[in-house]
Structure 1
Amino acid sequence: MTDIIEISLQLDAVEAKWGKALFSPVANGFQIHLTATEQQRTVQKVARSIESMGLRQVQLVGSDWTLELQWAFYQGFCSAKKLGGVGFTGDSNTKQHLEQLAKCFSWAKKIVNDTPENLAPVTLAQQAVDFIQSIAAKDTVTSQILQGEQLLAHGWQGLHAVGRGSSRPPAMLILDFNPTGDNNAETAAALVGKGITFDSGGYSIKASEGMATMKCDMGGAATVTAALALAILQGLNKRVRLVLCCAENLISGNAYKLGDVITYKNGTTVEILNTDAEGRLVLADGLMCATESGAKLIIDAATLTGAAIMALGSEYNALFSLDQPLAQKALALAEQQHELTWQLPLQKWHQQQCPSPYADTANSRAAKGGGAGGAINAAAFLSRFVNEDGKGWLHFDLAAAFNSSANGYWAAGATGMGIRTISATLQSQD
């Protein structure tokens, strides 16, 4: 018997010795029994079962392993304590593609699963720079990290307000990936990520059970960084701006408060009715920074609302856009990449759903979870900070990016769902 457990496939399985079991032992490991339907979910479920046996290393063997079936196994086999351990099979192109996916997903999962003590806002920004620089060709990446009072000097009021309550300063990363060699080349796309490294809820404080997993609230920043890295590995030749809005949302004598009014760089005034609706406040700055680049495509990603999870569960990411042709394109790419994504409605008039007598808008409704349509209202808030008609803008509310506990398909922690879709959308930009 070999030292490494081998995993093979049996296609068109029928009930025999092992009945309806999804897998069975064979000479050097295990064989997965596949029927014609739900093959990827079956493989991912079996991978979780095999991983639960305590195995650290497996090798996929046989000619029946497609790229997507191998990736499904990888996703099920990996956990917060073990981000590798799967030996891929197939031709060199297939193995290279899978190794690229594993590299980017492993980075994103590791950083999302990291403790909030280890991952201060500036640390998150710097780790993103280091990761992109480790992948990109020499002299194609420049970056700037604004922190603390520097944010005010550049007009980024929302990010500063959310992060000022912490002793560790908020930070905005502005990274320019430019493989063209032309400093005057247009920026084809911009990615914006919510990087709340810990979210207590501020004075609208979360209950302990809701706060326990809030290290994941920088999942949007990890997702867009990994998406850019994956695109670079796959040959991206267009200029892209990456903007990460990083902060800790904590309570202190210096923290922002309910009733405060923030005046944004574009003149929009916002009354704070919920300090736990902080993600949209920092993303507003990020979206304006992305818009300043002149990018025709702007994608933001965030673990933004519990309302998206209530609407879709934890298997689907939510997509919002005022640009319907672009949304349809993104949905088609999500399907190609086997990442479950569902579009929720968004109209310009949704911007009026959070009125304020003191400002142009409130950041939320004064109701638990933001009230009815909470995910839509958050998206509508963000739409105030891109171009007037929203053309070229996509917003991903990452309901499927993190699981607070393990289930039959996923280990507890980060999933990386959304990375492939955003990377493919980025690469498809003309």
Structure 2
Amino acid sequence: MTQATNIHLSKQSSNNNWQSDNLVQFVDNEVYICLKESSGTPLRQIQKAARSIEKLGVKHARLSGDNWQADSQWSFALGFTCVGKLTNVEFTGSSECINNLNDKLAVFAWSRDLINQTPSELYPLKLAELAADYINAQAPAYVTSNIISGDELQQQGWVGIYNVGKGSINPPCLLEVDFNPTGDPDAAVSACLVGKGITFDSGGYSLKSNAGMFDMKCDMGGAAVVAGAMALAIRQGLNKRVKLFLCCAENMVSNDAYKLGDILTYKNGVTMEVANTDAEGRIVLADGLLAASETKAPLIIDAATLTGAAVMATGGEYNALFTLDNQTAEQAKKAAEKVNEPIWQFPLAAWHQDKCPSEFADTANSRPVPGGGAGGASNAAGFLSRFVDNEGAGWLHFDLATAYNGSSTSLFSAGGTGLGIATIAELIK
């Protein structure tokens, strides 16, 4: 077993030597994170310190001493954990605190590992099966699932997922997971989660560059986040009926791939012209939102690594939030603040539905200009709003700008982050 290194948290320097001004200091074989009183962002400083400590070669961290709180321990875990060390943190405090943090770390580790898998090993059907199995393992007596795959998607009218994925040798699929602890098959669904599960995105005929395609194994990050959120909420005592829909496909080029100019007709009658095959996420999410709307759930949350525009606007440090329902937006902001996950609400109005016009259909999926043109993230959300009921009441769209890092940063290791899981779990509880 790997020997653990003790990590202490202090508000004053632990040394009078050359280390005295350092955030990370060493005393004998133990490590101290020494926060300065002037630091206005202590949790961020702890996460940065944890990243530095991991880079020094520490294999396993044991948090020691009386100064650690639940939020500071979680910030350390986010910074320290990485590929090969996704659960290598020992927490401290009461047994309840330790158990809660271990549950959270286990779910984040599962979700992050899923995002980090290669596209050859994580194809659409396997993504759906792994998500269904993991959620089922949390509460086998209350979970059922169903997968619609391949040509059956087209037969049942799920045209978005089918067309985006039909060009791949690996068939697309729609996963439905039903968590129903009530025992009543007619119980109302309190919330629905919808996730973008594009296991690899070549861009289709709107082909990405080599650099733009390199990290596209992460394009199923939305599916990993909402599946993780459902699993975490169950571990934390979820007692309401919740459904999950994952829209899984590979966006590939082949003789059978969908094409620019194709027109799809969705179940709700909306016709859509393909203006950009690389704006495929919103095409598949439309099916998931329609499926969620059929349940009449008062809360529908979708999550996706959807637009580069959101990453550019936030610097990859916030998840972008879109909604037409300001009351539900405030609930999301409070949930995010409670679990210390940064989100930022972006503009969205009903007229954003008209920002992707088509001469041949009700809408296009984008605009045929780089990045979808000005307001690209809001325009994408406007497209999605066509597929939810009640003029968007109770609907939240998370554009996961923080879901993945191609290389390590001062806060996170390379790979999936899991950010968004805790906020969404809090919301559906």
Provide the aligned C-alpha RMSD in A.
1.2
Asked if 1 retains the 8 angstrom alpha-carbon contact of 2:14 and 2:27, the reply is: no
Structure 1: distance between partners of 2:12 and 2:58: 27
Which moves more between the two structures, 92-101 or 47-56?
A: 47-56
Deviations 1:244-301 (A, max 9, x none): 0000000000000000001001000000010000000000000000011111100000
- Three-state SS of the structure 2 residue aligned to 1:248 is strand
Structure 2: distance between partners of 1:316 and 1:326: 18
Pairs within 5 Å for 1:54-203: 54-136=57-139, 138-203=140-205
- 1:24 maps to 25
- 1:390 maps to 392
- 2:410 maps to 408
Structure 2: distance between partners of 1:49 and 1:378: 37
Deviations 1:72-128 (A, max 9, x none): 111111112321211110001110110011011000000000000000100000000
Structure 1 residue 4, shift from structure 2 partner: 2.2
- 1:337 maps to 339
Structure 1 residue 38, shift from structure 2 partner: 1.4
- 2:309 maps to 307
Pairs within 5 Å for 1:319-330: 319-330=321-332
Deviations 1:181-217 (A, max 9, x none): 1111100000000000000000000001010000000
Tell me whether 1:41 sits opposite 2:44 in the alignment: yes
- Three-state SS of the structure 1 residue aligned to 2:392 is coil
- 2:7 maps to 7
User: For this pair of structures, how many residues does the alignment match?
Assistant: 425
Which moves more between the two structures, 52-61 or 277-286?
A: 52-61
- 1:292 maps to 294
- 1:358 maps to 360
- 1:53 maps to 56
Structure 2: distance between partners of 1:67 and 1:312: 27
Structure 1 residue 13, shift from structure 2 partner: 4.4
Structure 1 residue 179, shift from structure 2 partner: 0.5
Asked if 1 retains the 8 angstrom alpha-carbon contact of 2:116 and 2:415, the reply is: yes
Structure 1: distance between partners of 2:66 and 2:293: 47
Structure 1 residue 329, shift from structure 2 partner: 1.1
Structure 2: distance between partners of 1:388 and 1:182: 26
Amino acid at match of 1:247: A
Structure 1: distance between partners of 2:386 and 2:35: 48
Structure 1 residue 404, shift from structure 2 partner: 1.1
Structure 1: distance between partners of 2:357 and 2:41: 45
Amino acid at match of 1:353: K
- 1:250 maps to 252
Structure 2: distance between partners of 1:176 and 1:339: 26
For structure 1, the residue ranges without an aligned partner over 5 or more in a row are: none
- Three-state SS of the structure 2 residue aligned to 1:389 is helix
Pairs within 5 Å for 1:222-233: 222-233=224-235
Structure 1 residue 139, shift from structure 2 partner: 2.2
Structure 2: distance between partners of 1:377 and 1:16: 56
User: So what's the TM-score if we normalise by structure 1?
Assistant: 0.97
Deviations 1:280-326 (A, max 9, x none): 00000000000111111000000000010111111100000000010
- Three-state SS of the structure 2 residue aligned to 1:108 is helix
User: What is the percentage of aligned positions where both structures have the same residue?
Assistant: 54
- Three-state SS of the structure 2 residue aligned to 1:262 is strand
Which moves more between the two structures, 3-12 or 261-270?
A: 3-12
- 1:207 maps to 209
Q: Which runs of 4+ in 1 moved over 3 A?
A: 12-16
- 2:279 maps to 277
Deviations 1:332-371 (A, max 9, x none): 1111110010000100011011110000000001100100
Asked if 1 retains the 8 angstrom alpha-carbon contact of 2:3 and 2:60, the reply is: no
Amino acid at match of 1:86: V
- Three-state SS of the structure 1 residue aligned to 2:391 is coil
Deviations 1:38-86 (A, max 9, x none): 1111111111111112221121100100111111111111112321211
Structure 2: distance between partners of 1:332 and 1:73: 22
For structure 2, the residue ranges without an aligned partner over 5 or more in a row are: none
- The correspondence for 2:421, drawn from 413, 419, 423, is 419
Structure 1 residue 12, shift from structure 2 partner: 4.2
Structure 2: distance between partners of 1:81 and 1:31: 23
- 1:235 maps to 237
Amino acid at match of 1:106: A
- Three-state SS of the structure 1 residue aligned to 2:119 is coil
Structure 2: distance between partners of 1:304 and 1:409: 22
